């Protein structure tokens, strides 16, 4: 490592709050599926900023659209209309089939809005402020208080208790455990269609269908968190679209802006007409012209560049190659996931393998201590998969 990179890392450790154990590289630029550090070393990226850079780095059309918007207008208040936000909302409605969009600055903030909408729906229906929310064990919905309150991992919550009240936890894919928690105060059931941070666990079709039926029967709102698994990652624009069901509220972020911080929560007309009204919710930056120009261009490029078709073509190949590794090494005990959101489950911590991969020019990330997560840019090719597998195999041999 050069002195320059070492110095930057030392300065970072002095200046930044220690909320991350960072890998010892300073990333400088990206191109396609590759990242380069300050010393010019090239890395094949199978993380994409954790499921963010769907289109790959340095996409010219995307960059040009952002540059044009910078020269035009970066920000206005939400008290005025702006064309990029209108266009982005129309395109999001089209790809999701949802009816109303609220733009946020992050995933966690989208979750906050979704929870507020559900509580307000319950309040208008019953006249009471006692709505209960059912969330899932091992879920992850973000670090703000509302999002943390529905995150089913005590490790993230413990030091920050008390959380918001009236939240109960059931088990993903165990419908009985959800049913057992339902009361006449239940206003929402929230889950990730594919659990990400919790270890890459897809919700089953049966579970999602039964939750949908339960919600319809009892007028409970089904909230699907598509922040990590959405935006084409599973081979569908939103992972729930595979199953013939539709949530009442949906959250999205990460790849929505492909690098520009933006998220959204979307709802059906029924929820929109019976929940948040003027004065109930807001944000200064959410939905500003710059962020929405990014969203709008991302959605155009998804169509133009057949991003979802590429996921459908490459994902089965990634699964096949990961399955081969699983069969080859007895310390790999499972492979699971959906589309280009995959996890290899080890019977031991994976940090050493990930560090070794980094040394060898491959960026990987964990999901929990014993799972390597694969969430590459959605433009990857089968050749990129082969390159990744060959580096990973050499790391597995050496540890």
The nearest distance, CB 168 to ligand PLP, in angstroms, is 19
Site for ligand PLP in 79-108 (CB under 6 A): 106-108
Give Cβ neighbours of residue 363 (< 8 Å, ≥ 6 apart).
35, 43, 44, 45, 46, 47, 357
Q: Which is nearer to ligand PLP, 226 or 370 (CB)?
A: 226
Strand, coil or helix: 140: coil
Question: Which residue has 């850079």 as its token pair?
Answer: 53
383: which residues sit within 8 A by CB, 6+ positions away?
A: none
Piece in contact with ligand PLP (CB under 6 A), picked from 137-145, 163-171, 176-184, 340-348 = 137-145
Q: Does 228 bind ligand PLP (CB under 6 A)?
A: yes
The CA distance from 78 to 69, in Å, is 17
Q: Computed over its alpha carbons, how large is the radius of gyration of the chain?
A: 21
Which distant-in-sequence residues (6+ apart) come within 8 Å of 27 by Cβ? 35, 36, 37, 38
In the bound complex, what is the minimum distance in angstroms from residue 52's beta carbon to ligand PLP?
9
Q: Which residues pair with 336 in a beta bridge?
A: 343
The answer to whether residue 140 forms part of the interface with ligand PLP (CB under 6 A) is yes
- What number of other Cβ atoms are within 10 A of residue 324's Cβ? 13
Comparison of 140 and 302: residue with beta carbon closer to ligand PLP: 140
- Exactly one of 196, 199, 259, 377 binds ligand PLP (CB under 6 A); that residue is 196
- Which residue's beta carbon is nearest to the bound ligand PLP? 107
CA dist., res. 196 & res. 373, Å (int): 9
- The DSSP string of 145-204 is HHHHHT-B-HHHHGGG----SSEEEE-TT-HHHHHTT--TTEEEEEEESEE-TTT-EEPP
Query: Which among 136-144, 202-210, 232-240, 265-273 is the span making contact with ligand PLP, rule CB under 6 A?
Result: 136-144
CA 344 to chain centre: 18
Name which of 143 and 242 has its Cβ closer to ligand PLP.
143
Window contacting ligand PLP (CB under 6 A); options: 163-171, 189-197, 281-289, 349-357: 189-197
To ligand PLP, the closest distance from the beta carbon of 251 in angstroms equals: 7
SS3 for 223-276 is EEECCCCCCCCCCCCCHHHHHCCCCCEEEECHHHCCCCCCEEEEECHHHHHCCC
Interface residue with ligand PLP among 192, 248, 319, 370 (CB under 6 A) is: 192
Read off the tokens for 369: 């201590």
Asked if 114 interacts with ligand PLP (CB under 6 A), we say no
**Looking at 7-15, 134-142, 311-319, 349-357, which segment touches ligand PLP (CB under 6 A)?**
134-142
Of the candidate residues 56, 142, 232, 343, the single one contacting ligand PLP (CB under 6 A): 142
Q: Which of 224, 227, 292, 314: binder of ligand PLP (CB under 6 A)? A: 227
Total of chain residues touching ligand PLP, rule CB under 6 A? 14
Distances in Å between the Cα of 315 and the Cα atoms of 129, 227, 303, 311 are 45, 19, 18, 5
Q: Does 197 bind ligand PLP (CB under 6 A)?
A: yes
228/310 with CB nearer ligand PLP: 228
Q: How far is the CB of 106 from ligand PLP (least distance, A)?
A: 4
**Residue with tokens 């933006």, as numbered in its chain:** 262
Chain positions 248 to 277 lying near ligand PLP, rule: CB under 6 A, are: 253
In the complex, the smallest distance separating the C-beta of residue 142 from ligand PLP, rounded to whole angstroms, is 3
Interface stretch with ligand PLP, choices 77-85, 140-148, 308-316, 374-382 (CB under 6 A):
140-148
CB 252 within 8 A of CB 98: no
Q: Is 291 in the site for ligand PLP (CB under 6 A)?
A: no
Vertex 109, ends 199 and 130: CA angle to 5°?
90
Residue of 199, 201, 171 lying closest to 369 (CA atoms): 199
Give the shortest CB-228-to-ligand PLP separation in angstroms: 4
- The residue within the footprint of ligand PLP, chosen from 100, 122, 141, 356 (CB under 6 A), is 141
Q: Is 202 in the site for ligand PLP (CB under 6 A)?
A: no
Q: Which residues bind ligand PLP (CB under 6 A)?
A: 106-108, 111, 140-142, 192, 196-197, 225, 227-228, 253
């Amino acid at each position: 490592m050069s002195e320059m990179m070492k110095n930057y890392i030392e300065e970072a450790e002095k200046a930044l709050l220690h909320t991350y154990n960072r890998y010892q590289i300073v990333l400088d630029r990206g191109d396609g599926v590759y990242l380069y550090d300050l010393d010019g070393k090239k890395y094949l990226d199978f993380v994409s900023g954790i499921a963010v850079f769907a289109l790959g780095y340095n996409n010219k059309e995307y960059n040009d659209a952002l540059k044009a918007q910078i020269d035009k207008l970066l920000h206005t208040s939400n008290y005025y209309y702006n064309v990029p936000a209108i266009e982005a909302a129309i395109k999001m409605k089209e790809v999701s089939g949802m009816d109303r969009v609220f733009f946020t600055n992050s995933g966690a903030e989208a979750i906050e809005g979704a929870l507020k909408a559900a509580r307000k729906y319950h309040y208008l229906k019953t006249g009471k402020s006692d709505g209960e929310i059912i969330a899932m064990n091992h879920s992850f919905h973000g670090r703000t208080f509302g999002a943390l309150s529905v995150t089913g991992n005590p490790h993230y919550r413990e030091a920050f208790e008390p959380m918001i009240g009236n939240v109960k936890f059931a088990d993903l894919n165990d419908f009985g455990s959800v049913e057992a928690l339902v009361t006449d105060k239940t206003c929402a059931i929230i889950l990730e269609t594919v659990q990400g941070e919790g270890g890459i666990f897809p919700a089953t079709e049966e579970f999602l269908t039964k939750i949908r039926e339960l919600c319809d029967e009892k007028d409970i709102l089904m909230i699907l968190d598509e922040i990590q698994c959405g935006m084409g990652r599973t081979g569908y624009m939103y992972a729930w679209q595979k199953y013939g069901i539709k949530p009442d509220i949906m959250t999205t972020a990460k790849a929505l802006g492909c690098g520009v911080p933006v998220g959204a929560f979307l709802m059906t007309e029924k929820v929109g007409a019976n929940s948040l009204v003027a004065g109930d919710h807001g944000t200064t930056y959410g939905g500003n012209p710059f962020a929405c120009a990014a969203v709008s261009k991302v959605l155009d490029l998804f169509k133009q560049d057949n991003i979802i078709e590429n996921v459908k073509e490459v994902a089965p190949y990634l699964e096949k190659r990961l399955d081969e590794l699983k069969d080859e090494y007895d310390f790999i005990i499972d492979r699971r996931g959906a589309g280009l959101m995959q996890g290899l489950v080890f019977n031991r911590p994976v940090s050493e393998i990930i560090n070794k991969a980094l040394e060898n020019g491959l960026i990987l990330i964990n999901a929990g201590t014993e799972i390597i997560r694969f969430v590459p840019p959605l433009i990857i090719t089968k050749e990129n998969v082969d390159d990744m597998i060959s580096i990973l195999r050499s790391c597995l041999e050496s540890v």
